[in-house]
Every structure is written in structure tokens, then in C-alpha cells.
Amino acid sequence: MKEKSKVGYLIMNTGTPDETSIPALRRYLKQFLSDPDMLDYPSQRLKEYSKGIDVLRNGLASVLRWIIVNLIVLPFRPARIQAKYQGIWTKEGSPLLVNTIKFAEKLKKYTNENVEIGMRYGNPSIEKAIKKFKENEIDKLFLVSMFPQYAEATSGSTFTEVERVLKKEGYSPNLIKINHYYNEEFYLKSLKKSIIESEEYKNSEYLLFSFHGLPVRQLKKADISESHCQKVDNCCEKDSENNEFCYKSHCVKTVMKLSESLDPDKPFKICYQSTFGPEQWIQPNIIDVLEDLAKQGIKKVSVACPSFTADCLETLEEIAVENHEDFEKNGGEYVKLIPSLNDNEDWVRSFAEYLSEKEEEYARK
């Protein structure tokens, strides 16, 4: 009789500083922005498909990244963002980490005790989690990305780090990768419920779906064929092997599905946030959208952030504080954040059921 596998679950997200001190913020930013998948300008092709001029661009990206991180960001940005982190920090610590811990603890009720958190940057690290799985002799490991929409800068980078650590540790469990679920019923149902049942949505005149931004260059980089992205009409709405891992396509299709269940009399729009640097990013930017809504006389706006499954700086500070204040200055009454899924019980339970289905699929192979 075949011995039953010992299953583990690695819950992965971006990460967070350990505290709000300048040294802690500097450590976090250095690790975060030194990642070649995160800050990769002017790279235009994935490393494994690069040749000729693309190899030179990747080399230039390494040099520019070092200059930007060490000479521009680290000396000045920690002091500029410290108050933002202090404004959202709780007695328990970082909201992102606190929400992720609560999610992981609830997930244990539906799976087993072998659930660990691994942040791509900061602590608790992916490396620490994998070492614990190795010590516990886990032989089947779920790699659970908490990014519903795939992007090389988020999910891709996270899986690359997992591969690096597994190789370093000489550890080879059977892997089940959950690298996106933007179109899965369990995610859409949980997200839809969180929106339509929220007071923020019910009391608003207009709904925005705000996704984390991404440079347009990285969208094109994900199209290996170089024949689909920005070249085919409504390229993000179409199903194609060339946009299978296109972040914007995942965002658009998430909202296309959700819109089927929303109040038809309440208008909505997709937008993007958290831009960084001078290059072109996905449009429209939430700042511009809110400015236009204020000019149209819209007073009450609710914002859902489907790419963030746990509330963090980008939702609690950027949306709920910065965007709200700017909207007020332009004549609006308020911008209100619809809370992320966080550790909502139905969300955790349905996620666990999805993981169970994936394990059954894996067993049938």
C-alpha cells in the first residue's frame, strides 16, 4: 500500500517591513527593488528568451537598478514614506502580515497544521518556510500565490525565489503551483460578495476597480510571440495562448466576470494605481480617473482592489487616505475603500476547497 503524502502549504505574498523605523524601511526597499523581476528597465524580453540586443538590455538593467536603488531611493525614500507606514501600522504590526497570519491560521482548520507563510521580501521569508517544510519531511508542497492575477514582477518573482531556495536546500518535494486564479469561481464569488454586501458599495454613486499598476513594457514582455499585446484590437479581452500570463488581461477578465453580478444602474470603471518611475504604465491611472469623476459631479466613490487579497499600504493608505484627500480637494465628498478579502471565513473555506480540488487533479495525473 502506497504511503500517504505529507502535504504542506506555502502561503506567499509580497512582504512588508519589519517595523516603521528608517533602517527597517531601508532594508525592505533594498531587497524589494533589487529584485531583477521588479525593477527591470529597459529589459524587453524574459531572460530565458533573450539574445543579442536583449542580453545587453538586461545587463544595462542591472546597472541602472543598482544606481536607482542605492543612489536615489535608499538615501531619501525611507524618510518620505515613514509616516505612511506609521499611519496604517497596528498594535499587532503590519496589516499585510497580520491579515496573512489570520488567513493562514484559519486555513489550517480546513487543511492541516503544515501551513507556513513565506514573503518574497522581508519576514517571514520563503527560505525560512521551506527549511521548516524540509525539517518536517513534507513531500507534497502547495505553492500558494496570494496574487490572483499573474505578473512576472509578483507571482513570477516569487516562484523564482522558491526554485532558488529549493535548489540551495537540495529539497525536492512534489510541487503544486497555484500561480493565478483570476477566473476561478471561488475567488470571483468571494470577491463579488465582499463588494455587493459592503456599505461602501451600497452608499456610493460610482465603483472603481483599482489594480496595482505595471509598466506597459512588462505587458509586452509577457507576450513571447510579440504578435498579440498592443497589436490586436481588444487584446486583453481575447483568450489566446499569447496572453495566458498577461497581467492586464487577467485584470480585465476579472472585472468582466464580476460585472455580470453588479448593480446595472451603478457605473464602474477599471483603473490602476501605485505607479513608479518615468516610463509608461497601464492606463487609466486612478488619480486621473478620480479627477475626471469630480469634474463630472460624482461625489461618492467606492473602490475595490481585486489584486490585493490582504489589505496593506497600497489599499489602506494610498486609496483610503491619499486618493480620498485628493478627491475631496477636487470637489468630491469621499473615496471609500471596500476591504480586501483578508481572513473572511467564506473566502478561506472556499480557497481550501479549491486547493483540495487541485490536489485531486494532481493525484489523477
Tens of pLDDT, residues 309-318: 999 999 999 9
Distance CA 305, CA 323 (A): 13
Task: Report whether pLDDT(1) > 50.
Answer: no
Tens of pLDDT along 277-315? Answer: 788 999 999 999 999 999 999 999 999 999 999 999 999
Helix, strand, or coil (residue 65): helix
Q: If pLDDT is split at 50, 70 and 90, which confidence band does 75 have?
A: very high
So what's the pLDDT on residue 48?
Answer: 65
pLDDT (mean) for 235-261: 91
Q: Is the pLDDT of residue 82 over 90?
A: yes
Is the pLDDT at 2 greater than 60? The verdict is no
- Which pLDDT score, from 0 to 100, does residue 22 have? 98
> What mean pLDDT do residues 208-235 have?
87
Query: Residue ranges of the alpha helices (H) in 136-285?
Result: 157-169, 185-196, 199-202, 216-222, 247-258
Report the distance separating Cα 220 and Cα 241, nearest Å.
14
Angle, CA 145 vertex, CA 247 and CA 15 arms, to 5°: 95
So what's the pLDDT on residue 174?
96
What is the distance between the alpha carbons of residues 88 and 293, in angstroms, rounded to a whole number?
Answer: 27
Structural domains of the chain, with CATH: 7-181+345-364 (3.40.50.1400), 199-337 (3.40.50.1400)
pTM score, two decimals?
0.94
- Given pLDDT bands bounded at 50, 70 and 90, which one contains residue 241? confident
Q: Decide if pLDDT at 147 tops 90.
A: yes
Reply yes or no on whether the pLDDT at 225 is more than 90: no
Residue 182 pLDDT exceeds 80:
yes
Closest to 30 in 3D by CA, of 61, 75, 63: 75
270-273 long-range contacts, CB within 8 A, separation 24+: 270/208, 270/209, 270/211, 271/208, 271/209, 271/210, 271/211, 272/210, 272/211, 272/212, 272/213, 272/214, 273/210, 273/211, 273/212, 273/213, 273/305, 273/314, 273/318, 273/319, 273/323
| Start-to-end CA span in the chain (Å) | 19
Query: pLDDT (tens digit, 9 = 90+) per residue, 307-347?
Result: 999 999 999 999 999 999 999 999 999 999 999 999 999 99
At CA 93, angle to CA 69 and CA 344, rounded to 5? 110
Instruction: Tell me what the mean pLDDT of segment 59-65 comes to.
Output: 90
Alpha-carbon torsion, ordered 162, 167, 173, 179, to 10 deg: 20
pLDDT of 114 strictly over 90: yes
Report d(CA 314, CA 273) in Å as an integer: 8
What single-letter amino acid sits at 89?
A: W
Section 96-120 average pLDDT: 98
The whole-number average pLDDT for the span 174-201 is: 97
